[in-house]
Amino acid sequence: MILISRRNVLVAVITGASSGIGLATAKYLAERGFKVYGLSRNEVKNVNFESVVCDITNYDLVKEKFEYIFQKEGKIDVLVNNAGMGIAGAIEHTSAEDIKHIFDLNLLALINSCKCIVPFMRKQGGGKIINMGSVASVIPIPFQSCYSASKSAVDMFSMSFGLEVKDFKIAVTTVFPGDTKTGFTDHRVKNKLLEDEHYSKRINDSISKMEKDERQGMKPESVSKVIFKVIKRKRPPSRVTVGFGYKTIVLLSKILPRKLMLVVVKKLYG
């Protein structure tokens, strides 16, 4: 079913559209009548949206691509900041390069995209920005400390940024997926030093559990459907968690004493 008439096609830009949730969402929105531009490092072929090659960690390049899309379409109604990566392993053995890379991609690139899009959305009288968070932003996952920290920062940034642009009729929402079955699992960066007398068993047990949960997780289209519902809402919420079970986990993280919550997480992943 096509939601939007040809006279009023919504224009959506999605980062990280070459795989996983980003690719699924780009296809899902395009199927429903959106004009979709998917930004990624490599061109995506044989898809129902326009693939735009762009290194989203490069601010000037992102700005250039947004200007190209705005000039071509006359508007950008929706921005979905989806691009991201993960790191697994003990912080003690995580390289400075990997730490910089995950924050550059998961947080700084997202901030730059938000910064670039504001003038266009303000000029057109509003828009919607959806930032990809994670349940790991409220549940601290050991041996994924940088990932949890970067996604927690995304959540706080989104709320603060949302207050700044609300007067321009720009709505900012953070979507919190839980375990999702995508290529993210296989692309997660793992510390070279996993065999270590202090961490070895705990790291391998933790990573094995994470990977098992992800491979048995929800399909990426489940997240795409939630994003679509957020876009349709006149007044989108600032936070949305995907899946009943994960909504319960997020709620419990707020209710349970922090000490008890950390004990439970330690038993599961520590």
CB-based contact 25:82 (threshold 8 Å): yes
Structure token pair of residue 155: 């959540």
Residue 116 burial class via C-beta count within 10 angstroms: exposed 0-12, middle 13-18, buried 19 and up: buried
Q: What is the CA radius of gyration of the chain?
A: 19
Catalytic, out of 28, 37, 68, 147: 147
* Residues β-bridged to residue 53: 40
Cα torsion for 253, 256, 258, 259, to the nearest 10°?
-130
Nearest to 188, CA basis, from 98, 267, 109, 111: 98
Contact 249, 265 (CB under 8 A): no
147 is catalytic: yes
**How many alpha carbons fall within 13 Å on the CB side of residue 232?**
12
What does the DSSP assignment read for 80-95?
EE-----EES-GGG--
Length of the chain: 270
| Residue 242: DSSP 8-state | -
Question: How far apart, in whole angstroms, are the C-alpha atoms of residue 14 and residue 7?
Answer: 22
Residue 37 backbone zone (phi > 0: left; psi -120 to 50: alpha; other: beta): beta
What are the residue numbers of the active site? 147
